[in-house]
């Protein structure tokens, strides 16, 4: 097991990562001051069915706990579920010493973190990520829920006390979720570390032969990169925006497809390809990435999506300004920059991108 130190201006905390990292849970809780009076586990029904018993077994005899099991799926990152969790916490006597355990992927991490960040003006929480994607979402302190007007529109910055990343829990992930999380690993490599990108490109040919060692290296380096960015800019006033590489179009695709039939990372993968197609200096890299993504089973853009509707969505992005859409582009691998692009120009480029398929 390894420990990565996350060092944001507001808080430092460990990420314990490796096989059986889950066994660190009780020792970690025991070091917390004040000692938690009780715990609230928030999970979803897929993860709950697979791993809730393991967590409960560890806590048995040490801590009293209650569990909220939400339905799985990003639409559950809702105001209704947020309200339900708050009511449940109040009814079950959680106080300011209590600790919330977020057991699940990014959906659970985001909503449970938001519940923790706002319950009694903020209580402690621990991230127990169970997806590859959550190497991204469990670190950095962004928490929140969706609104019918847009994803992640309501939330707070609230850092966890610790992240316990037990890689043995990842073996049950469906392949499209592996692809989803891996796209964020690739994103981290592209915005920050050419050697890491080249290593991934060289070593990952199919997810069936993705070894524990490769997985651990991918997650560890991804988390380190996220940490480097978040340390510089916890509240996204500047460089943190680079983490949105691929996300402007990615979010628009997810929204246009009503969050069905494509995972977050698969949409981000398409968004990265589009971003790389916009500048001559990255077009070759884009072509190479496209070939690799195809081999790894990433989906193509569904052909019923149109440029005007996607651009309409992109205009609603939190980072859009009047007449322009802000996108993260690369000068080269590891050299991201923010570019403000005229909406009409972007629409014609997107049209070309859609036609290329
Ligand atoms: N806060 C942040 O900085 C940040 C960053 C990136 C993404 N996000 C958010 O993260 C969410 C996406 O995260 P995600 O991809 O982990 O989604 P998710 O939590 O919805 O998990 C994906 C699916 O996998 C299932 N699952 C989870 N772990 C499993 C396991 N070990 N075995 C089998 N099935 C398992 C879940 O039940 C779900 O059906 C989005 O809401 C996104 O907005 C947040
Ligand atoms: Zn993402």
- What string of DSSP letters covers 223-250? HHHHHHHHHH-TTSSSGGGGGGTTHHHH
Q: Name the percent of the chain lying above pLDDT 90.
A: 87
- Ligand 1 atom closest to 107 (CA): 19
Question: 313 pLDDT exceeds 70?
Answer: yes
36 with 98: CB under 8 angstroms? yes
Query: Is 349 annotated to bind ligand?
Result: no
**Which pLDDT score, from 0 to 100, does residue 112 have?**
98
Q: What is the pLDDT of residues 116-152, one digit of tens each?
A: 999 999 999 999 999 999 999 999 999 999 998 878 8
Specify the pairing of strand 99-104 against strand 65-70. unpaired
- The per-residue pLDDT for range 245-274, each reduced to its tens digit, is 999 999 999 989 988 899 999 999 999 999
158 is in an annotated binding site: no
Task: Tell me how far the alpha carbon of residue 270 lies from the centroid of ligand 2, in angstroms.
Answer: 12
Nearest ligand to residue 173 Cα: 1
CA 172 – ligand 1 centroid, Å: 13
Q: What does the domain layout of the chain look like in residue ranges?
A: 2-172, 175-356
Instruction: Give the rounded percent of residues in the chain with a pLDDT score beyond 70.
Output: 99
**Residue 219: closest CA among 136, 333, 113, 137:** 136
Q: Is 321 among the annotated ligand-binding positions?
A: no
pLDDT, mean of residues 68-88? 97
Q: What is the pLDDT at residue 235?
A: 74
Per-residue confidence band for 318, with pLDDT thresholds at 50, 70 and 90:
low
Report residue 239's pLDDT band, with 50, 70 and 90 as the boundaries: confident
Q: Choose among 259, 215, 251, 226: nearest CA to 18.
A: 215
pLDDT tops 90 at residue 353: yes
* 131 marked ligand binding residue: yes
Give yes or no for residue 191 having a pLDDT over 90.
yes
Atom of ligand 1 nearest to the CA of 263: 15
User: For ligand 1, atom 25, which residue shows the shortest CA distance?
Assistant: 46
Sort strands 12-18 and 2-7 into parallel, antiparallel or unpaired. antiparallel
Q: Which structure tokens are listed for 282?
A: 């990255």
Alpha-carbon distance of 353 to 347, in angstroms, equals: 10
Helix spans in 138-211 (H): 175-192, 194-203
* More reliable by pLDDT, 208 or 67: 67
For 175-356, the fitting CATH number among 1.20.140.10, 2.60.120.10, 1.10.150.120, 1.20.1090.10 is 1.20.1090.10
Please name which ligand lies nearest the alpha carbon of 107.
1
Give CA separation, 291 vs 97, 248, 294, 299, in Å: 51, 22, 5, 12
CB 81 near ligand 1, within 6 Å: no
Mean pLDDT of the chain: 95
Class of domain 2-172: alpha beta
Among all ligands shown, which has an atom nearest to the Cα of 272?
Answer: 2
Quick check: 41 and 67 in contact, CB under 8 A? yes
Rounded to an integer, what distance in angstroms lies between the CA atom of residue 250 and that of residue 43?
26
**Any atom of ligand 1 within 6 Å of the Cβ of 169:** yes
Encode pLDDT of 149-175 as tens digits. Answer: 878 899 999 999 999 999 999 999 999
pLDDT at 150: 79
What mean pLDDT is predicted for residues 188-204? 97
43 assigned ligand-binding residue: no
Nearest atom in ligand 1 to the alpha carbon of residue 152 is 43
Strands 142-147 and 150-157 come out as: antiparallel
């Amino acid at each position: 097991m390894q420990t990565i130190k996350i060092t944001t201006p507001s808080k430092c905390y460990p990420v314990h990562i490796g096989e059986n990292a889950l066994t660190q849970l009780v020792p970690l809780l025991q070091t917390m001051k004040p000692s938690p009076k009780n715990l609230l586990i928030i999970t979803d029904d897929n993860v709950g069915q697979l791993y809730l018993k393991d967590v409960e077994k560890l806590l048995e005899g040490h801590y009293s706990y209650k569990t909220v099991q939400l339905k799985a799926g990003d639409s559950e990152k809702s105001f209704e579920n947020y309200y339900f969790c708050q009511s449940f916490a109040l009814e079950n006597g959680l106080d300011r010493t209590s600790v919330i355990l977020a057991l699940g992927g990014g959906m659970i991490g985001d909503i449970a973190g938001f519940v923790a960040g706002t319950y009694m003006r903020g209580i402690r929480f621990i991230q127990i990520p169970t997806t590859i994607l959550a190497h991204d979402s469990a670190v950095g302190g962004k928490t929140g829920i969706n609104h019918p007007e847009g994803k992640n529109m309501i939330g707070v910055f609230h850092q966890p006390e610790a992240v316990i990343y037990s890689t043995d829990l990842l073996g049950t992930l469906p392949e499209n979720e592996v692809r989803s999380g891996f796209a964020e690993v690739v994103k981290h490599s592209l915005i920050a570390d050419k050697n890491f990108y080249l290593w991934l490109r060289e070593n990952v040919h199919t997810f069936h032969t993705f070894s524990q060692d490769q997985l651990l290296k991918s997650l560890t380096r991804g988390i380190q990169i996220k940490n480097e960015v978040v340390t510089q800019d916890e509240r996204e006033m500047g460089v943190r925006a680079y983490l949105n590489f691929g996300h402007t179009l990615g979010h628009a695709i997810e929204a246009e497809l009503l969050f069905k039939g494509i995972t977050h990372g698969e949409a981000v993968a398409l968004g990265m390809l589009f971003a790389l197609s916009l500048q001559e200096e990255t077009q070759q890299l884009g072509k190479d990435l496209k070939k690799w993504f195809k081999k790894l089973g990433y989906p193509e853009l569904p052909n019923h999506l149109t440029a005007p509707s996607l651009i309409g969505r992109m205009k609603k992005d939190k980072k859009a300004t009047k007449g322009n859409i802000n996108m993260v582009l690369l000068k080269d691998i590891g050299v991201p920059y923010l570019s403000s692009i005229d909406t009409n120009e972007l629409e014609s480029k997107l049209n070309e991108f859609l036609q290329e398929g």
